[in-house]
A and B are shown apart, each in its own frame.
Chain A
Amino acid sequence: MKRNPYITEKIAFALLFLATILVLLPVIFIVFIIIQKGISAISWEFLTTSPRMGMREGGIFPAIIGTVYLVAGTLVFALPLGVLAAIYLTEYAKDNLLTRLVKLAIINLAGVPSVVYGLFGLGIFVIFLQFGASILAGSLTLAIMVLPIIITTSKEALESVPRSFREVSLSLGASKWQTIRHSVLPHALPGILTGIILAVSRAAGETAPILFTVAAFFLPKLPQSVFDQAMALPYHLYVISTQVPNVAEHTRYGTALVLLLMVLSMNFLAIVVRSRFRKLKKW
């Protein structure tokens, strides 16, 4: 039988369209349900007070603050380390076996399950380095988890800066570091920024890495130093959903909504930053 190419085309188009819609549906569904069931829990009190009555009442303020601390701590470690490593790998490292191994390791690091990072953090930071379960240990664990994201996106951003910019700068007698500082980094910044924001949203949302390294079931007061434990949104959500009986449904969904909003707004920020810089880009 001879196939009619126009009908084939129509079928192919329908299939591709269907696939796209199917990808989109769960996302819309999840967001919709969480908003629908959680929006009633959101109030000023919910966002700014501590949980009461064995977490069945009150707010989630300590968990929000804990997550903010953890994200900030993660950035303190991962940002300089990741960006500097990316600069070294793209601009300075020679193309030899060692460099290729390092790059391969970084790519593989991105594929390690997050619970493995959690156990690693427990072994190294909590026990071996004796930080205990603390914001410091949790931040370091999360930092190691997001390092591959920051390095990979920064590397791509640096590599996308045209080689001719480097040649021009060097041909004017600028040193290598001057060239990187003034002719490469400024143009790679939006890409690097995007990577950082993605790393932040990942660090804010993960449960497994903080499970053994920092997260507390319940704390009566806010953490006072980096050696204190902290509550965190993803873990708090896990706790009130599975560990504490009889928590009102809207409280659980409200917590999920806050977490979702934090992560989504950061992703949104990344998109805005990227598109604004793309407009400024003049090549």
Chain B
Amino acid sequence: MWFAGTHALKTLNLSVFENEILGVIGPANSGKSTFLRGLNRLNDLDVHFKTSGKIYLDSQDIHRDIEVGLLRKRVGMVFALPVPLPLSIFENIVYGPRRHGIKNKKELEKIVESTLKEAYLWDEVKDRLNLGAMRLSGGQQQRLCLARTLAVNPDVILYDEPCSGLDPISTAKIEEAMLRFKNKYTQILVTNNTKQAARVSDRTAFFLMGDLIELDRTDKIFTSPLDKRTNDYISGRFG
């Protein structure tokens, strides 16, 4: 994958298993966000972006066999900074379902309640669903974004440094939600916080300068990595 001639992510071959949490760690410019945004084809928005190679979702080529809107519905994403749309809490969550043709008010209300509960936000906002989402705190906003992603009923959830701007308690709530989702969704977590990857993920991949250096069970990566560079990174010697 290239951006305006810069080779952001080089050759890699990687499988993500169903219902696992894959952690992706690596320093800045290692290509981990490019990797993530390649999976829901959000990289395509950049006019200078080029890609070669294939990505399969349940044996379907995401560039050829699946319509991009449907792909993004199945592969949801939580961004680094919480980006609530300037609408009410309710309207933020039903934004996705509405675009996919759900109009029934009862059904939408059900989606709002269930997704907010799943994202541990329901109790805090249930009395003020019509409040502007921008007025929530940062941690609440990010959980709202998580609920909004859940609302289109994805199979895969991509997290792009979801807790980089959050306090420890909000971070804990998001991690708790991720762990509870394990039997329902396949999750890929890109994080700058190596400890977070150690806490949450089943397997961890280490990226460096656009290369996949090592991928293994999380406990193995963090206790006995094979590659010296992985060891250096997780022990804080660089990055």
B145: chain A residues within 8 A (beta carbon): 168
CB distance from B224 to the nearest CB of A (A): 37
With A95-B47, A283-B134 as contacts: A164 and B72 at CB distance below 8 Å: no
Asked if A25 is an interface residue, CB under 8 A from chain B, the answer is: no
Are A168's CB and B86's CB within 8 A? no
Majority secondary structure, A binding face = helix
Contact of A94 among B47, B100, B132 (CB under 8 A): B47
CB distance from B104 to the nearest CB of A (A): 18
Are B42's CB and A167's CB within 8 A? yes
A187: chain B residues within 8 A (beta carbon): 86
Are A170's CB and B95's CB within 8 A? no
Q: Which chain A residues numbered 123 to 176 have a C-beta less than 8 Å away from chain B?
A: 162, 164-175
Mark A170-187 against chain B: 1 for CB-CB distance below 8 A, else 0. 111111001000110001
Asked if A282 is an interface residue, CB under 8 A from chain B, the answer is: yes
Contact of A174 among B40, B45, B96, B132 (CB under 8 A): B96
Asked if B165 is an interface residue, CB under 8 A from chain A, the answer is: no
- How many B residues face the partner with a CB closer than 8 A? 30
* Count class of interface residues, chain A: 20 to 34
Mark B33-67 against chain A: 1 for CB-CB distance below 8 A, else 0. 00000001010010100000000000000000000
B73 nearest in chain A by CB position: A173
Q: Which chain B residues numbered 81 to 125 have a C-beta less than 8 Å away from chain A?
A: 81, 83, 85-86, 95-96, 98-100
With A171-B40, A175-B69 as contacts: A283 and B86 at CB distance below 8 Å: yes
Are B132's CB and A172's CB within 8 A? no
Are B45's CB and A170's CB within 8 A? yes
Contact of A164 among B74, B83, B95, B152 (CB under 8 A): B83
A182: chain B residues within 8 A (beta carbon): 95, 98-99
User: Number of contacts between A and B (CB, 8 Å)?
Assistant: 71
A281–B132 CA distance with the chains assembled, in angstroms: 10
Are B85's CB and A170's CB within 8 A? no
A172: chain B residues within 8 A (beta carbon): 72-73, 76, 95-96, 99, 148-149, 151-152
CB distance from A276 to the nearest CB of B (A): 15
A187–B77 CA distance with the chains assembled, in angstroms: 23
A182–B86 CA distance with the chains assembled, in angstroms: 11
Asked if B226 is an interface residue, CB under 8 A from chain A, the answer is: no
A167–B37 CA distance with the chains assembled, in angstroms: 11
A169–B72 CA distance with the chains assembled, in angstroms: 10
B77 nearest in chain A by CB position: A171
Are B83's CB and A165's CB within 8 A? yes
Asked if B135 is an interface residue, CB under 8 A from chain A, the answer is: yes
CB distance from B121 to the nearest CB of A (A): 17
Are B83's CB and A282's CB within 8 A? no
A175: chain B residues within 8 A (beta carbon): 69, 99
Contact of A167 among B45, B71, B96 (CB under 8 A): B45
Contact of A282 among B69, B70, B135, B152 (CB under 8 A): B135
Q: Which chain B residues numbered 137 to 171 have a C-beta less than 8 Å away from chain A?
A: 145, 148-149, 151-152
CB distance from A280 to the nearest CB of B (A): 8
Contact of B69 among A173, A183, A281 (CB under 8 A): A173
Are B72's CB and A173's CB within 8 A? yes
B98 nearest in chain A by CB position: A182
B135 nearest in chain A by CB position: A282
A173 nearest in chain B by CB position: B73
A168–B135 CA distance with the chains assembled, in angstroms: 18
A183 nearest in chain B by CB position: B85
Residues on B facing A (Cβ under 8 Å): 40, 42, 45, 47, 69-74, 76-77, 79, 81, 83, 85-86, 95-96, 98-100, 132, 134-135, 145, 148-149, 151-152
The 8 closest A-B pairs by CB, nearest first: A173-B73, A172-B96, A282-B134, A282-B86, A174-B99, A173-B72, A171-B77, A164-B83
Could you pull out 21 A-B pairs where Cβ atoms are within 8 angstroms?
Answer: A162-B83, A164-B79, A164-B83, A165-B83, A166-B45, A167-B42, A167-B45, A167-B79, A168-B79, A168-B145, A169-B95, A171-B72, A172-B72, A172-B96, A172-B148, A173-B99, A174-B95, A174-B96, A183-B95, A281-B86, A283-B134
Sample of 16 more A-B contacts, CB < 8 Å, known A171-B77, A283-B134: A164-B79, A165-B85, A166-B45, A167-B42, A167-B83, A170-B42, A170-B45, A171-B42, A171-B79, A172-B148, A172-B149, A172-B152, A173-B71, A173-B100, A174-B95, A187-B86
